[in-house]
């Protein structure tokens, strides 16, 4: 049953990525809604934009949390441990996305998933050890493997948010040497709309760009599914190593295909953090043991269908959406009127 569930989950993920890649680069899929704040003297309302970037980021975090809950629950971690684990990791990683971006890029309204990931890799062994010690349930290595898999799912889906906002964009295809130019002339991303980051930051609206976001989404979700297979087979070291190595090594390599600002150095701070994260994360993966932990996905799914956990998932979605979905770099004006013909 475990492998069938993994296959269905993977098929749903890849279908969602494929369909998202076809529609999200368009101008229509950047703004989700505009909320009027105050009225201007000319009668127009100044509004706050709520973005699909925030909605998709919230979906990614919530899906990653749900995956972590199922995997942690499948190895016997109780509800208290699940809540503490998720709350501890998200409570540290969500603020880190903005803090690290500000330190590296010097911009107050930028978020960095790479920065959040590095912080998560560093603190995960301590959070997992603390939760296992406090609750007396579960084991550290399976918990770390579950977190690594959940992270790969979350960032894979989260890259679709970048497609919507036009950030984390790749280099123009016509600037690449062969054979890359030939490869990406057949598979690329074209952003539309002046409010996409690729447009206002580098004037790349309408140009064929390397589809870094889609490449990352497919690769990370594939690594997560492979990690789940190892997890189901109770090979917890490999279940942690595969998503950890794939995600962080690709972060180092993918930077060379990107055109957005990553700092002044040829090797960016994010690449250094990713490389250090791999070495750091391999230590517990190779040294810890699972203490005869067994996997039961049915038990994990039952842990998901629980009132505290469902409330936690709703809270994660809401907090992340409010944190990432309120656009600080775009604005809008709204005019309200009565449809005379509808009265």
pLDDT at res. 281: 83
Render pLDDT for 127-169 as a digit per residue (tens, 0 to 9).
888 888 888 777 889 989 999 999 999 999 999 999 999 988 8
pTM of the predicted model, to two decimals? Answer: 0.90
Phi, psi of 39 (to 5 degrees): -95, 135
Render pLDDT for 63-89 as a digit per residue (tens, 0 to 9).
999 999 999 989 888 888 888 888 888
pLDDT for residue 193 is more than 80? yes
Supply the angle between the helices 212-232 and 2-23 in degrees, to the nearest 10.
Answer: 170
pLDDT for residue 263 is more than 60? no
pLDDT at res. 264: 61
pLDDT for residue 240 is more than 70? yes
Out of 89-98, 186-195, 333-342, least confident range:
89-98
CA–CA distance, 104 with 99 (Å, rounded to integer) = 9
């Amino acid at each position: 049953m475990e492998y069938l569930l993994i296959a269905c989950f993977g098929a749903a993920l890849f279908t969602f990525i494929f369909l998202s890649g076809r529609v999200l680069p368009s101008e229509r899929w950047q703004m989700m809604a505009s909320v009027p704040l105050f009225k201007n003297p000319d009668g127009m309302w100044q509004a706050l934009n709520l973005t699909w970037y925030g909605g998709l980021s919230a979906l990614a975090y919530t899906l990653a949390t749900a995956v972590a809950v199922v995997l942690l629950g499948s190895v016997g971690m109780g509800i208290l441990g699940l809540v503490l684990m998720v709350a501890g990791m998200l409570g540290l990683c969500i603020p880190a996305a903005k803090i690290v971006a500000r330190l590296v890029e010097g911009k107050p309204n930028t978020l960095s998933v790479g920065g959040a990931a590095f912080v998560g890799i560093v603190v995960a062994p301590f959070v997992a050890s603390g939760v296992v010690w406090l609750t007396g349930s579960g084991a550290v290595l399976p918990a770390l493997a579950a977190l690594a898999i959940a992270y790969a799912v979350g960032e894979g889906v989260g890259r679709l948010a970048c497609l919507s906002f036009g950030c984390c964009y790749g280099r123009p295809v016509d600037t690449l040497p062969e054979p890359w130019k030939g490869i990406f002339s057949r598979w690329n991303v074209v952003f539309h709309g002046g409010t996409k980051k690729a447009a206002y930051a580098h004037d790349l609206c309408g140009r064929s760009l390397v589809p870094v976001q889609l490449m990352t989404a497919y690769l990370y979700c594939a690594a997560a599914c492979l990690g789940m297979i190892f997890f189901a087979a109770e090979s917890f070291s490999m279940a942690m190593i595969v998503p950890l190595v794939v995600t962080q090594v690709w972060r180092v390599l993918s930077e060379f295909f990107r055109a957005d600002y990553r700092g002044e150095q040829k090797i960016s701070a994010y690449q250094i953090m990713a490389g250090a994260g791999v070495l750091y994360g391999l230590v517990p993966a190779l040294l810890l043991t699972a203490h005869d932990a067994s996997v039961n996905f049915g038990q994990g799914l039952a842990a998901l269908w629980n009132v505290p956990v469902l409330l936690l998932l709703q809270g994660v979605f809401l907090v992340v959406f409010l944190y990432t979905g309120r656009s600080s770099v775009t604005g809008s004006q709204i005019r309200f009127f009565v449809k005379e013909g509808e009265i």
